[in-house]
Amino acid sequence: MKLKNLGLLVLGIGLTFLYFFVNPSNVDFFPKCPLYATTGIYCPGCGSQRATHQLLQLNFIGVLQQNILFFFGLFILGYHIAVQSLNLVLKKNIYNYLYHPKTPIIILVIIIVYWILRNIPYFPFNILAPN
């Protein structure tokens, strides 16, 4: 178990350095999205590698240009960690909306609507596509 964690840590640090120094837009040895490579359709995760590079370079507008859901994912992660740690450390009992029956359905709808919209090749929808 410890070896696995160490491996993941090394892998994480390695990938952080890789995505910090190399812009996936400029080189072509990064893995392509299999859906985009085969069909030409953007998936909801397309642009995440380029967004990771922009985030590590602290270019937040660049992140938004690649993938708006990237911030959405980070926001959900931050909310979850904040609520859980407040409840644990300060012994509070804040309700975590991620456990509300409707939340996963709303999130699923957001992802699917985003998926459809970013594939419409006309303004203003095409700003949702990665570039």
Partner 1 sequence: MDQNQPKNYLVESILVTVFCCLPFGIAGIVFASQVNSKFSLGDYEGALQASKDAKKWMNWGLISGVIVIVLYFLFVALTIGSLAFLGGDF
Q: Specify burial of residue 49 (Cβ count, 10 A radius: 0-12, 13-18, 19+).
A: buried
**Listed ranges 54-62, 86-94, 107-115, 119-127: which one lies at the site for partner 1 (CB under 8 A):** 107-115
The reply to whether 39 sits near partner 1 by the rule CB under 8 A is: no
The reply to whether 54 sits near partner 1 by the rule CB under 8 A is: no
Q: How far apart are CA 92 and CA 31, in angstroms?
A: 44
- Tell me the closest approach of the beta carbon of residue 74 to partner 1, in angstroms: 9
Query: In Å, how far are 68, 77, 90, 102, 120 from 94, measured between CA atoms?
Result: 28, 16, 10, 18, 40
Residue with tokens 């397309």: 46
* Of the residues 82, 105, 116, 127, which one makes contact with partner 1 according to CB under 8 A: 105
The reply to whether 70 sits near partner 1 by the rule CB under 8 A is: yes
The reply to whether 103 sits near partner 1 by the rule CB under 8 A is: yes
* Of the residues 19, 48, 54, 65, which one makes contact with partner 1 according to CB under 8 A: 48
